[in-house]
Amino acid sequence: MIPTALPPEQLYLACNQDSFSFQTTDDLEALHDALGQERALDAIGFGIRMAHDGYNLYVLGPAGSGKHTTVSQVLEREAKGRPRPDDWCYVNNFDDPRKPRALRLPPGMGARLRRDMEHLVEELQTSIPALFESDDYRSRLQEIEEELNQRQEEAFKELQKEAEEVGVTLLKTPRGFAFAPVRDGEVISPDEFNKLPKDEQERIEKAVGGLQEKLQKILRQVPQWQRESRGKVKELNSRVTMYVVGSLLDEVRKTYADLPVVLEYLQAVQKDIIDNVDDFRPQEKNPMQMLGLPVGMEQGSSLRRYVVNVLVDHGTSEGRPVIHEDNPTYQNLVGQVEHLAQMGALVTDFTLIKPGALHRANQGYLIMDVRRLLIQPYAWEGLKRALVAGKINIESLGQILSLVSTVTLEPEPVPLDVKVVLLGDRMLYYLLHHYDPDFRQLFKVAADFEDDVDRRPDNNRVYTRMLATMIRRHQLLPFDRSGVARVMEHGARLAGDAKKLTAHLESLVDLLREADFQARQEERGVVGAVQVQAAIDAQVRRADRIRAKVYEAIHKGTVLIDTAGERPAQVNGLSVIQLGNFIFGQPSRITATARLGDGKVIDIEREVKLGGAIHSKGVLILSSLLANRYGGNQPLSFSASLVFEQSYGQVDGDSASVAEFCALISALIGVPVRQHLAVTGSVNQHGRVQPIGGVNEKIEGFFDVCAARGLTGDQGVVIPAANVRHLMLRRDVVEAAAAGRFHVWAVETVDEALELLTGRSAGEPDEAGHYPEDSLNGLAARRLAELTELRKKFSAAGKGEENNDE
Amino acid sequence: MSEPDRGAERAVKRVLVTLDPYGQGVDALRAAAGIAADLEAELLGLLVEDIDLVRLAELPFAREIDIFTDDTEPLGGTRMKHDMQLQADRLRRMLATAAGQRRVPWQFRVTRGRVIDELMGRFQEFDLLILGQVRRPLVRRLKLAVRDRRQSRVPAPAGHRPVQPVMVLYHDSPASRRALATARRLARETQRPLMVVLPLNPAAVVRELERQVMAWLREQRQQARFAYLGDESIAAVAQLTRREHGGGLVVGRDVFALDGPGLSSLLEQLECPLVLVN
* CATH number, domain containing residue B26: 3.40.50.620
Mapped onto helix, strand or coil, the DSSP state of residue A265 is helix
Query: What pLDDT is attached to residue B6?
Result: 44
Chain B residue closest in CA terms to A178: B64
In a domain, B158, yes or no: no
- Closest Cα in chain B, distance from residue A166 (Å): 15
Mean pLDDT of chain A: 89
Selected catalytic residue, list A637, A698, A761, A775: A698
Query: What pLDDT is attached to residue A135?
Result: 84
What is the DSSP code (8-state) at residue A55?
Answer: B
Interface touch B159/A129, C-beta < 8 Å: yes
Chain A residue closest in CA terms to B63: A178
- Closest Cα in chain B, distance from residue A183 (Å): 11
Q: At a CB cut-off of 8 Å and minimum separation 6, what does B197 contact?
A: B167, B168, B169, B170, B226, B227, B228, B229, B237, B240
- Closest Cα in chain A, distance from residue B82 (Å): 10
CATH classification of A37-84+321-449, choosing from 1.10.220.150, 3.40.50.300, 3.40.50.12280, 3.40.640.10? 3.40.50.300
Query: Which regions in chain A score pLDDT beneath 70?
Result: 1, 283-301, 632, 799-806
For B62, which of A178, A222, A284 is closest by C-beta distance? A178
d(CA B48, CA B114): 7
- Closest Cα in chain B, distance from residue A230 (Å): 6
- Closest Cα in chain B, distance from residue A299 (Å): 15
Interface touch A175/B83, C-beta < 8 Å: yes
d(CA A486, CA A507): 14
CB atoms within 10 A of CB A194: 11
Residue B151: is its pLDDT beyond 60?
A: no
Q: Is A302 a catalytic residue?
A: no
Inter-residue contact A453 to A35 (CB < 8 Å):
yes
In a domain, B69, yes or no: no
* Sign of torsion over alpha carbons B5, B6, B11, B16: positive
Q: What angle do CA A752, A755, A760 make, to 5 degrees?
A: 150
Chain B residue closest in CA terms to A154: B139
For A141, which of B58, B146, B160 is closest by C-beta distance? B160
- B contacts of A136 (beta carbons < 8 Å): none
Query: What pLDDT is attached to residue B10?
Result: 42
| One-letter amino acid of A68 | H
Interface touch B155/A230, C-beta < 8 Å: yes
**Which secondary structure element, helix H or strand E, spans residue A768, and what is its range?**
none
Sheet holding A601-603, edge to edge: A601-603, A638-644, A582-596, A570-579, A677-679, A716-720, A743-747
For A283, which of B70, B136, B158 is closest by C-beta distance? B158
- Closest Cα in chain B, distance from residue A306 (Å): 20
Interface touch B159/A281, C-beta < 8 Å: yes
Tell me the Cα Rg of chain A: 47
- pLDDT by residue (tens digit) across A514-550? 999 999 999 999 999 999 999 999 999 999 999 999 9
Interface touch B52/A178, C-beta < 8 Å: no
**Long-range contacts from A47-54, C-beta under 8 angstroms, 24+ separation:** A47/A419, A47/A421, A47/A444, A47/A445, A47/A447, A48/A74, A48/A75, A48/A78, A48/A365, A48/A419, A50/A445, A53/A387, A53/A390, A54/A441, A54/A442, A54/A443, A54/A444
Inter-residue contact B103 to B37 (CB < 8 Å):
yes
Structural domain of B173: 2-60+74-150+163-277
Q: Is A655 a catalytic residue?
A: yes
For A173, which of B64, B70, B154 is closest by C-beta distance? B64
Of the two residues A289 and B197, the one the predictor is more confident about is B197
Of the two residues B157 and A540, the one the predictor is more confident about is A540
- B contacts of A149 (beta carbons < 8 Å): 143
As for how many domains chain B has, the answer is 1
- What ipTM was predicted for this assembly? 0.76
Please tell us whether the domain made up of A549-789 is placed in CATH 3.30.70.940.
no
- Got the DSSP string for A530-550? HHHHHHHHHHHHHH-HHHHHH
Mutate to test the interface with A, among B20, B22, B51, B52 (most CBs of A within 10 A): B52
Chain B residue closest in CA terms to A234: B155
- pLDDT by residue (tens digit) across B14-70? 888 888 776 656 777 887 888 888 778 889 998 888 888 888 898 888 888 887 787
Pick the closest to residue A682 from A620, A730, A728 (CA basis): A620
Cα A42 to Cα A13, A34, A312, A370, A452: the distances in Å are 31, 12, 31, 21, 17
Interface touch B154/A181, C-beta < 8 Å: no
CB atoms within 10 A of CB A617: 16
d(CA A229, CA A141): 10
Pick the closest to residue A626 from A607, A643, A615, A639 (CA basis): A639
Q: What angle do CA B142, B144, B145 make, to 5 degrees?
A: 60
Query: What pLDDT is attached to residue B135?
Result: 47
Q: At a CB cut-off of 8 Å and minimum separation 6, what does B82 contact?
A: none
CA A756 to chain CA centroid, Å, is 52
Interface touch A230/B58, C-beta < 8 Å: no
For A226, which of B142, B152, B160 is closest by C-beta distance? B152
In a domain, B169, yes or no: yes
Fold of A12-34+453-543: Helicase, Ruva Protein; domain 3 (1.10.8)
Chain B residue closest in CA terms to A145: B154
CA B160 to chain CA centroid, Å, is 24
Tell me the Cα Rg of chain B: 20
Mutate to test the interface with A, among B112, B146, B148, B149 (most CBs of A within 10 A): B146
Query: What pLDDT is attached to residue A294?
Result: 44
Query: What pLDDT is attached to residue A26?
Result: 94
Residue B138: is its pLDDT beyond 70?
A: no
Strands B42-50 and B106-113: parallel
Pick the closest to residue A683 from A752, A755, A610 (CA basis): A752
Give the residue extent of every domain in chain A.
12-34+453-543, 37-84+321-449, 86-316, 549-789
Interface touch B86/A148, C-beta < 8 Å: no
